[in-house]
Amino acid sequence: MEERLRPLSERECYERLYGERNPLVTVLPLGSGAARGPTLSEEQMRKAFFDRLDLMFEDVEEAA
């Protein structure tokens, strides 16, 4: 088994796995903590999911 001289960074691992970095992919430092977009609580996400699910079933029932 080959031993590493040093651990690889996340950036190095990505480059080895996927080749050239896509500009759409960014590596954030651990603990950056700043959310880049809107955030939802678990309960808000669950409610939104079930609301959309109900709408989908209403559309299916209307089509039948």
pTM: 0.38
pLDDT reported for residue 41: 87
Query: Percent of the chain having pLDDT more than 90?
Result: 19
Q: Is the pLDDT of residue 6 over 80?
A: yes
Distance CA 15, CA 35 (A): 25
Domain borders along the chain are 39-64
Q: Which is higher by pLDDT, 64 or 10?
A: 10
Beta carbons of 46 and 53 less than 8 angstroms apart: no
pLDDT at 1: 59
Query: Hey, what are 38's tokens?
Result: 């809107």
Does the pLDDT at position 61 exceed 70? yes
**What number is the average pLDDT over the span 37-49?**
87
Q: What is the DSSP string of 34-61?
A: --SS----HHHHHHHHHHHHHHHHHHHH
